[in-house]
Amino acid sequence: MKSMENFFNPHSVAIFASMKEGKTGYEIVKNMVEGRFKGNIYPVSQSDGQIFGVSINKDFKNLEIDLAIIAIPGQFIPLLLEDLGSKGVKSAVIISAGFSEVGNIKEEKEIKKIAKKHRMRIIGPNCAGIMNTECNLFASIEVRALFGETAF
């Protein structure tokens, strides 16, 4: 199960999303910070500044990323995955919706093709994120789970 390790015990998580209050990225970073994630948190967005005391990155090329959390418009996801795969990122969670559940088979097939090319594992698209209370990973839009030995 080594290939799943970065999903449930990452040392660094990059969140690709809008960091505006009320948006998915904002809520995920909030959950990660307030949940006391033990690793590095990298918000990646076109925004400037900080969010919950964490600097927002406009570029991810120099970041060491174990896990990518993606909540951007679907049409941009294949290009982002290609860039992440070329950088060596092996694990991604796609929260974004708008794929096969609404008949958009083409982009979902493109995601699978890119994942296979880069030997990347993907959870999603159209999911709520992931949690692991063991390492305080709350990369989700859901209410944080209580601390303990639970993964979601």
Domain positions in the chain: 2-140
121-123 and 67-71: which strand pairing?
unpaired
For 2-140, CATH number? 3.40.50.720
For residues 31 and 59, what is the distance between their CA atoms, to the nearest angstrom? Answer: 22
Taking residues 82-105, what's their average pLDDT?
90
129-132 and 137-140: which strand pairing?
antiparallel
Taking residues 53-77, what's their average pLDDT?
96
Taking residues 19-42, what's their average pLDDT?
95
Average confidence score pLDDT of the chain: 90
Q: Measuring CA to CA, which residue among 17, 48, 52 is closest to residue 32? A: 52
Residue 131 has pLDDT above 50, yes or no: yes
Token pair for residue 67? Answer: 């896990």
Tell me the pLDDT band of 4, cut-offs 50, 70 and 90.
confident
What is the reported pLDDT for 1? 44
Grouping H, G, I as helix, E, B as strand and the rest as coil, residue 59 is coil
Q: Which residue has the higher pLDDT, 125 or 151?
A: 125
For residues 52 and 49, what is the distance between their CA atoms, to the nearest angstrom? Answer: 10
Residue 53 has pLDDT above 60, yes or no: yes
75 membership: H or E segment, kind and range = none
Q: pTM, whole model, 2 decimals?
A: 0.91
